[in-house]
Copies of this chain bind each other. A is one copy, B any other.
Amino acid sequence: MKTTLIYSGGLDSTVLLYWLLHNRHEVIAVSFDYGQRHKREIESAKTICRLLDVAHETVAIPPLRGSVLTDAGDMPHGHYADENMKQTVVPNRNMVMLAYAGSLAIASGCRAVAYGCHAGDHTIYPDCRVEFVNAMRAAFELCDWSQLQLLTPFVHEDKTEIVRIGKRLCVPFDLTWTCYEGGQQPCGQCGSCVERNEALANA
């Protein structure tokens, strides 16, 4: 199947890329520049797609406002479940990326869109909830005259399980990028770094 992957260059979507290739999808990967500080992740996406000879496109969309990931302000540090991590919610980001990926998918003859939402995100990000994903799946099936599938194979998995899947698929974790800060090296302190390091240790 020809599938459009929403590909950040982070750990989850990189494991999903390997999972899709393992399951014989022909993948077109798309990364979104939405004004995030951590544009560094897009370099990881490009590098890994080159390595795998997968088509990759970066789409710059107008900056999304209303989050510490895109506006000025201090990045909260600590564990993901903490209340202050809600400052990192970018309003409706996932619907925007899904909608755009859906448009690209239809225009390029793909019959599915894949994205790497997972169970660990649910407490912070409203648009990672299973109910939201299911509503978007219903909308995807109706947005074109032929059904467009929404593939979210990790929606019930936590990050540790995703790392385990990635290990079995020989994912080069050191090439992926997770940190929310805009630096050249991971900060190790933001919620995203903390969760990544815990998952790598647990798996």
Residues in A lying within 8 Å of B, measured CB to CB: 59-62, 64-66, 86, 90-96, 98-100, 102-107, 126-127, 129, 131-132, 135-136, 138-139, 141-145
User: Is A143 in contact with B139, judged by CB distance below 8 angstroms?
Assistant: no
Residues of B contacting A144 in the complex (Cβ-Cβ under 8 angstroms): 91-92, 126-127
Q: Which of A62, A103, A107, A145 has the most CB of B within 10 A?
A: A103
User: Is A139 in contact with B139, judged by CB distance below 8 angstroms?
Assistant: yes
Q: Which residue of B lies closest to A86 (CB)?
A: B145
User: Is A103 in contact with B99, judged by CB distance below 8 angstroms?
Assistant: no
Q: Which residue of B lies closest to A71 (CB)?
A: B107
Provided the pairs A135-B135, A139-B139, A142-B129 are in contact, do residues A62 and B61 lie with their beta carbons within 8 angstroms?
A: yes
Q: Which of B96, B107, B145 is close to A64, meaning CB atoms less than 8 Å apart?
A: B107
Chain B nearest CB from A30 CB (Å) reads: 11
A92 to B99, CA, bound (A): 7
Q: Which of B100, B103, B132 is close to A143, meaning CB atoms less than 8 Å apart?
A: B132
User: Is B142 in contact with A131, judged by CB distance below 8 angstroms?
Assistant: yes
A12 to B64, CA, bound (A): 27
A86 to B146, CA, bound (A): 13
Residues of B contacting A145 in the complex (Cβ-Cβ under 8 angstroms): 86, 126
User: Is A107 in contact with B65, judged by CB distance below 8 angstroms?
Assistant: yes
Chain B nearest CB from A100 CB (Å) reads: 6
A143 to B135, CA, bound (A): 10
Residues of B contacting A100 in the complex (Cβ-Cβ under 8 angstroms): 62, 92, 96, 99
